[in-house]
Structure 1
């Protein structure tokens, strides 16, 4: 059985990023704020959401839309989805986890553990199926309808009853019936596990139905050698079924684990929505676009900033359809970095299949997200700040693919402007030639000016009002040759 709640044709890869290989853009986008809000204090939900972010760039448009429809169902039926998740995690709770320990490689342990696991799993799946059937008419998405159909077809009452009866027999409460031939030295060979006859399962039938002549051998309590011999005989009989039971238990348990992981993603989305609803931050579902170099937003806001401040934040309207280069200039502390972060987070949320904090967003899908932000001075750096920037850019160049998205924030400004601008221009031009979309925040007028006549470019500017007031909104405008030295003077010395 397959759940198919995250992908229409395969299971979800729930492996979170390794601490040794974290998500590279997480620091620049303050992704931890988003993941923490979605987790709601649950480490498992945090890891599942991190895994979804790490693997988002392999999703196609069909997958994004598939998840959006499932998520809409979850939002419309949040209480029911939480019931589904409660059932899916029940086998892994502290009170039940002992039933699911598939440890011990001897035949007796494998059979006993496998049977207990299957019994508990069937109980969970039966209750899950009944809950799904009762609420099936509330769900419209292809993902949930396929999931409900799978449970109804594969776990009907006839199958569950037969499976429970077989598992009850495999507990061997009435003993283990084996047959064997006696070989040289009195050793048994040709051992076979036999199904008990009806008369052996009922003491009334044993009395009323005559059986074949038999003999009984009873071990002395202190006969350790005899007990060992009988144990080996029992293990030989159970080994005929141990692998099959163990594999069946692992298969069923794997299905529930997958269901838990996929429902955990949507539960984290519900937690995030609840948090943003409390703040009063409106949400919408973005539109993925097949064509390249498409980006259009209305009132796009930085979700991490909203979660940090606990209130709605200022948004921006941008139309960059057909423009793979967006250059952002203007006053210090005018909202440039915030907008850059809002773009990265919105693109990530889109490709995960989530809602976004915007009134409207449509964008192309990208093969990856890369960020190159300026870093504060680090006394432990072995080389200069500019060298460190070039090293990070080289790491991006080794990993980037066509159709990727790169966010630059005041990059290559650690050297003098002419050299930094030329390096930035050459790198940006090379990226554009390979169908990479670039958002570049820069104070280097020489860099911005080099793209003034390029019809692939949109220029956004953060302006400073009278008295240094900031609107924190960007407007489409060409860069200014003047600097904002007055802002720096006021920030450093006070005015």
Structure 2
């Protein structure tokens, strides 16, 4: 029996190797916040969610398969949770039933009979749920799951199990046949089916017994008792092993069922928390990795909203056919938040989860990579630029075409010219290998050079400010500005600025960008 709720044709492997850059992804995208929200302090749910998010699916069909199963779970959350809890309770009961002396055949047989009785009860409950709920589920995964339960767990199956379990309890002793070898040792031990006793108590009491030979052990004959026990173990050895294998088969099915339902229960936990804040979610439309699609409406950072008492601000983007995204603007304007929302949305989509947006459509990727700025190396083994270049070198060693990489203020540890040159060369090399690039940068020269290339596959976004100069935490399609918005800092420290205070003023209090960038000679002179 197979659950097949995560994949159409194979089990979900909880021990799938995670990406080599897992620590960077967890840190840069703040995945711990998302994982703890999904797990609700359950270690097993946390482990399953982490593997599902970071491993992900590589093909749209796999994503759509999980989405359909998850939609059924969202429509019937009580049924999904009850199926998961049934598997959990049965596995825990089996662990409590374990006793360490079951290392000899009769012990193994006794333990296996008890476990099989427990498992049979659980399977009957599964069959009852399948009979009651099969018609209300529509996904391919659940239809196959319920059909499998109804087909393989029929009434004849349970009758056969119960008959064998009653027989294997050997209430009337063990019937074994054997023959003597040339050295008068027993061989070819065979466990025989005991003849059922007569139904009539008169026949059982007064009926003629078949002739037989018997012997009686002395009360303190320990060696004789041990020899007799060994004879019994030889007879039940094969059937004990067979029953043990049967229990392991059923138990492995319940273990896999628990694992795969754990992912969907984690998704239900997350959905309930977002619903409490009236945050929208949607099932994204995935496309193959080779395509270049990205269209979203109301995309927000799910980790941010889990920390905030109010709803997070979402962003819209229509960027099909684009491969380069350069994001500029004032500090604390929502640039890094948007970058993180894209990374989280891609991981959630690839795992089969819903996405925190009103609508979302994008292509899958052959790997997700992040290159964020880091704090100063306290060990002083290397400078910040050396550390950034080393991390970039490691990414280049692993990245492949049709991947996605997110830069957040990278290569800003040096001067403007050098940082812009490094960023430009790295970006052009990545684009040449069909790697989609998102870059949040304060390096104006880097953004200006890319903007003046007039690439049809590039989109330039800027943190929006309203007429009063306040940040709206939304991004708009706009050219990069040379200003660093120093007026914001000046106003925060010294109060409101007025024209003529020495700070260039633009419309509505915004800093006015210079008409032309400073010439190289002026930069050198400065």
TM-score grouping bracket, smaller chain normalisation: over 0.9
Distance in 2, Cα, partners of 1:14 & 1:490: 53
What is the CA–CA distance in structure 2 between the aligned matches of 1:316 and 1:10, rounded to whole Å? Answer: 37
Distance 2:200 2:370 in 1: 72
Does the 8 Å CA contact 2:17/2:55 hold for their aligned counterparts? no
Kept in 1: contact 2:54–2:347 (CA 8 A): no
Q: Which residue does 2:163 correspond to in 1?
A: 165
1:237 CA drift (Å):
1.6
Taking only aligned residues, the RMSD between alpha carbons, in angstroms, comes to 2.4
Counterpart selection for 1:178 from 166, 176, 179: 176
What does 1:93-132 align with in structure 2 at a 5 Å threshold? 93=92, 95-99=93-97, 104-132=102-130
What is aligned with 1:337? 336
Are the structure 2 counterparts of residues 247 and 310 from structure 1 closer, same or farther at C-alpha, using a change threshold of 3 Å? farther
Q: After alignment, is 440-449 or 205-214 more displaced?
A: 205-214
Q: Among 186, 189, 192, which residue is 2:190 paired with?
A: 192
CA separation in 2, counterparts of 1:451 and 1:345?
26
Counterpart CA distance in 2 for 1:349 and 1:201 is 64
Question: What SS does structure 2 have at the residue aligned with 1:438?
Answer: strand
Q: Which digits, 9 at most, give the CA deviation of each residue in 1:174-200, with x for residues without a partner?
A: 222112223466532222111111138
The farther-off stretch of 319-328 and 371-380 is 371-380
How far residue 101 of structure 1 moved from its aligned partner, in angstroms, is 6.8
Q: Which runs of 5+ in 1 are unaligned?
A: none
2:417 maps to which residue? 418
Give the match for residue 395 of structure 1: 394
Displacement after TM superposition at 1:293 (Å)? 1.6
Q: 8-17 vs 81-90, which deviates more? A: 8-17
Indicate if the aligned counterparts of 2:323 and 2:431 stay in contact, CA closer than 8 A. Answer: yes
CA contact (8 A) 1:280 1:311 kept: no
Per the alignment, residue 460 of structure 2 pairs with 459
Distance (Å, rounded) in 2 between the aligned partners of 1:201 and 1:114: 29
Distance of 1:295 and 1:228 partners within structure 2: 75
CA distance in 2, matches of 1:267, 1:243: 35
Residues of 1 paired with 2:337 and 2:163: CA distance?
A: 62
Tell me, yes or no, if the aligned pair for 1:4 and 1:143 is still in contact at 8 Å: yes
Show the counterpart of 1:39: 39
Q: 1:205 to 1:280 in 2, by over 3 A?
A: farther
Please name the residue that 1:472 is paired with: 473
Q: Which has the larger radius of gyration?
A: 2
Task: Give the match for residue 248 of structure 1.
Answer: 246
For 2:264, the equivalent position in structure 1 comes to 266
Q: What's the offset of the Cα at 1:386?
A: 1.1
TM-superposed CA distance for 1:271, in Å, is: 0.7
| Residues 278-316 of structure 1 deviation map (CA, whole Å, 9 limit, x = unaligned) | 112111111112351211111100000001113211011
1:384-421 deviation digits (Å, cap 9, x = unpaired): 11111112112222222221111110011111122222
Indicate the residue corresponding to 1:144 in structure 2.
142
The superposition leaves residues 65-89 of structure 1 with CA deviations (integer Å, 9 ceiling, x where unpaired) of 1111111111111112222122111
Residues 303-452 of structure 1: pairs in structure 2 closer than 5 A: 303-452=302-451
1:17 and 1:54 in contact (8 A); partners too: no
Q: Distance in 2 between matches of 1:110 and 1:353?
A: 42
The C-alpha deviation readout for 1:37-68, integer Å capped at 9, x for no partner, is: 11122111111111111220x43111111111
SS of match in other structure, 1:198: coil
Length-normalised TM-score, structure 1: 0.93
Moved more, 254-263 or 200-209: 200-209
Question: Quick check: 396-405 or 108-117, which moved more?
Answer: 108-117
Output the CA distance in 1 between the equivalents of 2:480 and 2:206. Answer: 101
Structure 2: 5+ residue stretches without partners: 496-526
Q: 1:419-451 CA deviation, whole Å, 9 max, x = no partner?
A: 222221222222212221111100111211222
**Structure 1 counterpart SS, 2:298:** strand
- Output the CA distance in 1 between the equivalents of 2:283 and 2:232: 60
3-state SS in 2 of match to 1:450: helix
Distance in structure 2 (CA, Å) of the matches to 1:478 and 1:123: 67
Q: Distance in 2 between matches of 1:377 and 1:177?
A: 78
TM-score (norm 2): 0.88
Query: Partner residue of 2:25?
Result: 25
Give the C-alpha shift of residue 333 in structure 1: 0.6
Which whole-Å CA distance do the structure 2 matches of 1:128 and 1:402 have between them? 45
What is the distance in 2 between the residues matched to 1:101 and 1:447?
68
What does the per-residue CA deviation read over 1:245-278, in whole Å, with 9 as the maximum and x for residues that have no partner?
2222111111111111111111111111000011
8 Å CA contact 1:88–1:260 kept in 2: the answer is yes
Report the count of equivalent residues: 492
Provide the C-alpha distance between the structure 2 equivalents of 1:409 and 1:494, rounded to a whole number of angstroms: 30
Distance 1:42 1:458, change over 3 A: same
- Distance in structure 1 (CA, Å) of the matches to 2:147 and 2:340: 41
Instruction: Please state how far the C-alpha of 1:460 moved relative to its aligned partner.
Output: 0.4
Give the 3-state SS of the residue equivalent to 1:318 in structure 2: strand
Q: Distance in 1 between matches of 2:354 and 2:457?
A: 28
Residue 100 of structure 1 contacts residue 116 of structure 1 at CA under 8 Å; is this kept in 2?
Answer: no
The 2-side partners of 1:392 and 1:202 are apart by: 84
Q: Is contact 2:29-2:343 (8 Å) kept?
A: yes
